[in-house]
Structure formats: structure tokens, C-alpha cells
A and B are shown apart, each in its own frame.
Chain A
């Protein structure tokens, strides 16, 4: 913690960066912190409530953060994949950001949850974590914590259950879930990879996706989003956490990621040089669906 605070203060004082984005204690648990004055660096924390993927703030859609110049951002190992996604897609120049990697032993579901991690309260995406040591960062901070408690992935189990349903029953499940969507767009706004300057859902002429939150349009929106995030979603879970309707959006992301892995042999990676299937073509890509 002290290491992170001292480094942040130093980077700001030297004017290496104009802003450090990290986490702090807020009125309701941990939350994103924005430190521009080295004197405020003492606010920075890192612990198992720091669930937020701060790479979202590096998106070019945030004009109010552009005025600060170069930004340093604290990232967990898994968050690096989102930064890599932005670099891969030319939304961010790697040299424009200083990555402060924090060694991580897993996080809770919610930033308001507290206490030691257990198999019960561990965020599902942390099960079997392979990136406790953050890769490709400019600085790596903290002690390497023990691996998160082990258990079966709940979402993997839930996806297997849904896969086992027949088409009508699976459709009924999603109709029920998506009927609750109010199209507030929270899922899109918190997503570090939803970087389109003009989202398809905001286009009105023609209105590709109806803006009314009826179930038909909600299907169109979530299907479009799932396909556009295929092979790009980094499984940070921010969309599901942000959803005020409590829709299990991570199930969609995880399912699509599994399909992409099976079809294209690709897993979202922290190496920005590896092209993602959505923006690349290989001669041996499966094409049996073309008839």
C-alpha cells in the first residue's frame, strides 16, 4: 500500500503523469480514486474489495479525463487484458499510460463486501487465476498473495446447465432475464472494451436497434453487444456488477468466449500484438457454416 502511494506521489511530483487512477476507501466500500496532487496519494489503497476494472477510464470516450495528460492506472493482472485490448485496437497508445500492476490474490464480487476471501465469497472470475503477478506493467507492486481459494466455477456450472436445456427452455430463460432490461446502457458504459464513439444502439436513422426496452429490442441489443465483444470481452464482470436490473450478463460473455476459443483457438490475451479473431482472418478459420 505504502509502496503504491509513494510511487504515485513520485510519478505526480516528477510530472511523469498528470493523474493517477487507483482505488480508495469511499463512503460505500472501495471505489475508483483520481489523484492529481502528490499530497493526495495517501488515499490510495489496494485490497480484495478493489473489484473495479480501471482500464475503463482509459477509453477514448472519456473527454473529461483527457485534460490531465499522461495517466498512470493501477491494474490487477486480469485488468491488463483490457489495456491490451485498447492498445490492440488502436484506442490507446501504450506509451501514453503508466501501468501500476498490483499483485492480487482474488477479489470479492462487490466493493462493499469485506473480510477474508473464502470459496463462498470469491468472485467467480478469480477461480483458478493465472495472473496474480500482473504481466506487461511498468511497475509491479506488493507482495505476491496466496492463490485464491479453490472451488468450481459457478458460472461454468450455470452455463453447462443452460446448454443442457432444449432450445425453447433456454430461450424462455433469456426472455425472462432480458425482459427486465431497462436499456439504461450501464453495461456498455462501464465496459472497458465498449469504445465505439457512436454506438449502434444510439443510431436513430435508421434505428438498427429499437431503443424501447421491450423484450424484442432487448434481445437485439444484448445479442449485438455479445457478438461485438466476442473475443474482446475480458471477463472483468463490470457489466453485470453495474446492471441495475440484476441480469446475469457474465453468463453471455463467458459463453461467447468459450465459443470463440473452440472456433478460433483464441483466448483474450494480455499481448496486444496477438490479433483477435474479430479483426483478423486466417486461412484455416472454420468456414463450414458458409453454404
Chain B
């Protein structure tokens, strides 16, 4: 992020932890590691041949490398690669986001074994393989940083931060995918640096490399022979500017206005028909880089042992909110879509000062019923502009000291 212009408006130090008490730092603040704040990031050049050699060196050193690979039908998926040529850089946006490399669809939290009257607990491994994610899309890298906030909120999520610390994200500036991209409408862009340790921009013969964090600098330092002095920055800047222009034409929105409107219009008639075509299938949440809700289950394996696991969950299913009494506070799909929009564009922002959406457009692409988030945002924008709601300058609802469910005065964590 060469200093100027593209800094996402939400990307301020928006942590609302422990306001008024002693200043609590989030468990991992990647902003801290950002080198180029205000002065532009350090820039290098990485030739195509050197990128191939870099990957060979990483693999040779036992580092796990993840990159988009061909998944057939013109689609790609992020997968662990065995060699550079498996990677398909700068092609289609992978079917699912990066989140599964930090919050897997299922993971063991611990195992138990009963032995007579005794009970033995075995913790899940707490060390994670050193990983470089190569060719991450900026919308996916940004999402990971957004999720650091909730993962380090009232409880430090060790598996999440363990994987975060073990992983270096090398993003590649995107050219924009199609008409469903709207990263520029949520304060990011196809060249957003947020969440990335290095940001590459494809130029002739190679990549311009922006070194964004200490972790990124360390990677460059370890493989210094691969990186040349900075190239002429103009071609890369032009590539990025053109991509931004392209994506901006898809959707113009003012998330602050939408947030105010959402807050004031929980019972607006628009919600009554918002989700007629929605099947409640949850594919949107599965492909979303920021949907992070999980369920925790105990699964016996035989009579004497078993595992506690956490699994992806989604607010789009009735059982997500079904009470033991049989009552369901979200009675139908309209209520569930209202929840999804509120969580992404109001609640998370009120809690953490950030939108829970990076504009990747995957939900629209994946939806079998044709629900289209950019279209819905456009409609909300129109409503918000035509009936503006005064928005307080700062977040209106400070997070309770102990998180949503734990309000003991004095705030034991």
C-alpha cells in the first residue's frame, strides 16, 4: 500500500477492547508489524524465475506452501502445493476463501479417554507448520486480519493465532474477477494490503513486491538473493489503478450510511421479502472469507474415548437458533438474511470498527437461488441515502467488557 489514497477507511485502530479501563491490546495486531505506515512500503522486485526458485527454497526448507491450484471447469482452490508449477497465480478467485487454513471446517480441540474411573484428556497439538500462502487474493488476506479481532476479543483463540503466527501471507494484487466483485465498496480494493505480509503486483517479467510487515521482511531477508532492488513502480501502480477503476464500477456504497440505516430499520418492510429466493443452504457462509461462526460438539468414538471438535456453522440454518423449548427466534429465512446483513454491516462494525465483509462476491457466485449481496447492498444504499439516519461519529454500542454472554461486573475473563 504505497502510502497514498487506498487506505481503507475502516482500517483505523478500531479496537474497542476495554475502553475506559487499562488499554488492552488485541492478541495479535498485525498493524503493529506494518513497516510502511505513512511513508510507503519498502518495495522490491521478484522475477518470475526467482519466484519459482523461491518456492523451491521454501519447500526445500520444509515450509508448507499453499496457493491457488486448478480445480477444473476454470475454477481454482487454495491447496497445499508440492511444486511451483502446481500453483495457478492470478487466475480465478478460489472457490473457497483462505479461512479454512486458520479455522478448518472441523478441528479437534481435545480427545478424552476413560480408563475405569479415570479420565484422561489429551490436548490437540498446539504447534502448527510454518506456512507461506502464495498468491492470496487481497480480499481473502484482509478477511483474516478482520477476524483477528473476534478471535482475540474476550478470549484468545489459540488454534487461530497459532496458525496465524506460523503463516506468512503473500498476496497478489487482483485484476478484478467479474461483476460480483465489490471490494472497493467496503473500503478495500483489488490491491488492498490489509492482512498481507507481502503484496505482489504482476508487471512484465515478474512482480513488484511491497514489503508490508516484519514477517514479510523476514521472508525477504531469508531469501534475499531472490529479491532485486525495487523496479520502476509506475507500471505496477497503473495495473492496480486500472483494477480499482474496474471494480469500483460494480457498486458504489457508503457502509457508514448503511450501518445507520440497518440500526434504525430492524422492522422495515423490506425484510419481509428479502429472502424469498434463498434456500437457507449456507453455501454463502461456507465460501465467505469472514463468516466464522462455529459449533462445538463432543463425538464419542466407541465407548471409552472420543473427541471434542469445533465445526463451521452458519446462521442460515433454522437449527442455528432453535431453542430447546422448540421456539425459534429467527422464524424464517427472511429473518436469517436480515441477521447476516446486520452482522456483516452493523454489528461487527459496532464491536470492532470493521466491516465483516471484504467484497469478494463469493456469496453471490455460490448462491444456487440467485441471492446477490452487491445487489442487496445497492438497495440498502438507496434506502439509506433517501432516508438518511443520523449516524453517531463513533461506534454507538461499546462492547460489553466480558463479551456478549459474560457480563460479571469486575469483568473476570
A interface residues, Cβ below 8 angstroms from B: 26-28, 30-34, 52, 56, 62-65, 111, 182-186, 188-190, 202, 204, 207, 210-214, 238, 241-246
Known: A184-B314, A246-B72. 4 other contacts (CB 8 A): A27-B364, A27-B372, A63-B331, A213-B311
- Name the residue of chain B whose CB is nearest to the CB of A23: B370
Are A64 and B179 neighbours in the complex by a CB distance under 8 Å?
no
Quick check: B279 and A212 within 8 Å, CB to CB?
no
> Does B400 touch A at the CB level, under 8 Å?
no
Contacts of B333 in A (CB 8 A): 62, 64
Number of interface residues of B (CB under 8 A): 44
B279: which of A33, A190, A210 is its contact (CB, 8 Å)? A190
> Once the chains bind, are A214 and B369 in contact (CB under 8 Å)?
no
Cα distance A214–B285 in the bound complex, in angstroms: 18
Contact A242–B368 (Cβ < 8 Å): yes
- Chain B interface, >50% SS class: loop
Q: Which residues of B contact A28 (CB under 8 A)?
A: 179-180, 364-365, 370, 372
Q: Which residues of B contact A204 (CB under 8 A)?
A: 297
- A238: which B residues are within 8 A, CB to CB? 368
The number of residue pairs between A and B whose CB atoms lie closer than 8 Å in the complex comes to 114
- Closest B residue by C-beta to A111: B370
Minimum Cβ distance to chain A for residue B386 (Å): 21
If the complex has contacts A32-B277, A186-B282, are A212 and B309 also in contact, measured as CB distance less than 8 A? yes
Interface residues of B in 286-324 (CB under 8 A from A): 286-287, 295, 297, 299, 309, 311-312, 314, 317, 319
With both chains docked as a complex, state the minimum distance between the C-beta of B354 and any C-beta of chain A, in angstroms: 25
Residues from chain A with a CB closer than 8 A to the CB of B374 are: 27
CB distance from B75 to the nearest CB of A (A): 7
Q: Using Cβ atoms and an 8 Å threshold, which residues of chain A touch B286?
A: 182, 184, 186, 244-245
Q: Is A26 in contact with B72, judged by CB distance below 8 angstroms?
A: no
Contacts of A30 in B (CB 8 A): 370
* B 355-387 to A, binary, CB cutoff 8 A, 1 in contact else 0: 000000000111011101011000000000000
User: Which residue on chain A has the smallest CB distance to residue B297?
Assistant: A211
Interface pair B370/A32, CB less than 8 Å apart = yes
Cβ–Cβ < 8 Å partners of A246 in chain B: 71-73, 75, 95
CB of B96 closer than 8 Å to a CB of A: yes
A183–B281 touching, CB < 8 Å: no
Chain A residues lying within 8 Å of B122, measured Cβ to Cβ, are none
